[in-house]
Structure 1
């Protein structure tokens, strides 16, 4: 990671660490929610931006992690974080293993449709059966604890734990993508046929990335369930898969920083267009404003928000170059 990129990420995480000291309860709650979705966005970035696999069923793994959190919590007391969190992540990863083992045998639009089909299967399991409480959803009876050290029922403690998870996931994926495994994924994204020709069996690499991605999405689902204390089938709907895909496109595909920026930008745009103080009655139609803003950003920023600095520098260099050329022309004609 270049120095400028490292400083940006370090400054962002430092600001998040200091945020509870500067913001009120609403601000802390909002940023906690955004950090959960940033973890979710990082999970999809591993597939789409780093491996070239456009998955439209990522919400299934997110929802499984959330539902497992609620269903595995005992009725008579707070569960231990030490067993509940790994179990939820492993269940999401296991479903990702099943989905990936079948869907990765297809390519292109067929891969997209198969992942969507598996997500819809999971959706209807919780939507139409008593297991997931149907359309009403189910409530989390008690939030997990880690002995006397950590109680996730406390907003400040949960904020710190979510931030630690975000930093851990970001660091893990950074190391993963810089490893031999990560370079193999980059090669698959650029030209899978050439990777096969050089002797790489690409299927195991793609399956491993799919399982890791599912596990990270399950972690985000766990955090979401603990934060809200409630889950419903909308957590597995294709709408959520679409939203997280928009996040990484908005931030900039191929960059872990882009997933973070995209998650924050998407959530803040939602809050902006929902504001009745700014838009009055039009705030009821916030989807329209959000859609127009996303269309404009994609049209004007093809590399996403993460590419804005380079785009500005390129334009400034172009202007300075034109100024020098004009000056030389005037001198030659003078």
Structure 2
């Protein structure tokens, strides 16, 4: 009872901060919306594609933050949903299904089933065991995708078509895909933000602190966590759909554990359990990685200490740099 009461009190006392975080998020999305106009002056398609990549990863990072930041569930296999979503998209296009709605329906169905099955098993563990079992499921999917010799195997597969929505190539690389991704990112950001302050989100956060006590109150925390796990998997699957459209190529490496680690870095660096943390983290990591790689081939020697510096001196993540101490931006 105490955990839910505390969570409820935090929600009430944080109404003003919610308004501020909402404004900050809208400003970030507005800046992203102006990118195509800015790139006409400087950078061209290179900058546009870079920001597009950041937005796609931001969708996956926001979905992962629902697990890590609100549920206390550190999944080391979240990139599996990215890979699965991209492969379902690529296989559907290769087999002649170009209508975006059926393709997205297949992505949601298969990613949802995969999340439901793996989540039902993984969530019976906790702590480091949960981390290891999600890693195991992610690697199982990675090797399964690598074995699909009909669709490129280890080498991946080039896509010659793009999904069509109502006769329009809105998912074709360019401004159409950019704004389609921006709309999906905005919807994902808003949905997860609303979900986190709802009763569902409060129970999820209370279960993060003391699952036993939440269970004694009559809440089945396993079901709440499983629902959150499935929602996160569905959203990451949509990010995989967009990844395939953007790259016009599918590869098993999308589902590799290293990409799961990158998503975790984005969430932690941005600020776990905050409205805009994962969004800021994804944009920052992609832009900084690309900027440093243009300066030196050994850019990781700079990127690593930079991450340590941020973690040490911005303990609330990047959002702590633009909000008051204790704010949930």
Normalised TM-score (structure 1): 0.88
Counterparts of 1:102 and 1:168, CA distance in 2: 29
Corresponding residue for residue 298 of structure 2: 285
TM-fit CA distance, 1:90: 2.1
Aligned 8 A contact 1:126 1:133 in 2: no
Instruction: Single out whichever of 123-132 and 140-149 deviates more from structure 2.
Output: 123-132
Q: 1:49 is matched with which residue?
A: 69
CA contact (8 A) 2:71 2:208 kept: yes
The residue aligned with 1:8 is 24
Residue aligning to 1:295: 308
Alignment of 1:143-154 (within 5 A): 143-154=162-173
Structure 1 contact 132–138 (Cα < 8 Å) conserved: yes
Q: Indicate if the aligned counterparts of 1:125 and 1:132 stay in contact, CA closer than 8 A.
A: no
SS in 1 for 2:302: helix
The answer as to whether partners of 1:39 and 1:169 remain within 8 angstroms in 2 is: yes
* Structure 1 residue 256 displacement after superposition: 2.8
Pairing 1:269–2:269 present? no
Higher helix fraction (1 or 2): 1
In the alignment, structure 1 segments of 5+ residues that lack a partner are: 277-282, 315-334
Decide whether the 8 Å contact of 1:57 with 1:119 is kept in 2: yes
- Helix, strand or coil: the match of 2:322? helix
Q: Name which of 118, 125, 130 aligns with 1:99.
A: 118
Corresponding residue of 1:222: 241
User: In structure 1, what is the Cα distance between the partners aligned to 2:159 and 2:206?
Assistant: 43
Q: Distance in 2 between matches of 1:109 and 1:151?
A: 42
CA distance in 1 between partners of 2:104 and 2:224 (Å): 25
Measured on the aligned residues, the alpha-carbon RMSD in Å equals 1.8
Contact between 1:66 and 1:224, CA under 8 Å: does it hold in 2? yes
Say which SS state the counterpart of residue 68 (structure 1) adopts: helix
Alignment match, 2:11: none
- Distance between the aligned counterparts of 2:62 and 2:287, measured in 1? 18
Checking the alignment, whether the CA contact within 8 Å between 1:80 and 1:145 is kept in structure 2 is: yes
Q: Output one character per residue of 1:23-42: Cα deviation in whole Å (capped at 9) or x when no partner.
A: 12222111111000000101
Match of 1:85 in 2: 104
Secondary structure in 2 matching 1:55: coil
Q: What SS is found at the alignment partner of 1:220? A: helix
Task: Note the residue ranges of structure 2 that are not aligned, 5 or more in a row.
Answer: 1-14
Q: Is 1:58–2:71 an aligned residue pair?
A: no
Match of 1:190 in 2: 209
Pairing 1:211–2:230 present: yes
2 CA distance for matches of 1:95 and 1:313? 37
Post-superposition shift, 1:313? 10
Quick check: 175-184 or 226-235, which moved more?
175-184
Higher mean C-alpha displacement, 125-134 vs 195-204: 125-134
Alpha-carbon distance in 2 for matches of 1:311, 1:293: 23
Query: In the alignment, which of 118, 136, 161 is matched to residue 117 of structure 1?
Result: 136
Distance 2:117 2:46 in 1: 39
Q: Which residue of 2 aligns with 1:18?
A: 34
Q: State the TM-score, normalized to the length of structure 2.
A: 0.89
Matched, 1:307 2:326: no
Do the aligned partners of 2:170 and 2:180 also contact (CA within 8 Å) in 1? Answer: no
Contact 2:108 2:238 in 1 (8 A): yes
Counterpart in the other structure of 1:29: 49
SS in 2 for 1:285: coil
SS in 1 for 2:316: coil
3-state SS of 1:254 partner = coil
CA change 1:96–1:132 in 2 (3 A) is: farther
Check the 8 A contact 1:123/1:237 in 2, yes or no. yes
Greater shift after overlay, 302-311 or 39-48? 302-311
Q: CA-to-partner distance for each residue in 1:142-185, whole Å, 9 max, x for gaps?
A: 00011334432250111010000001111111221222211111
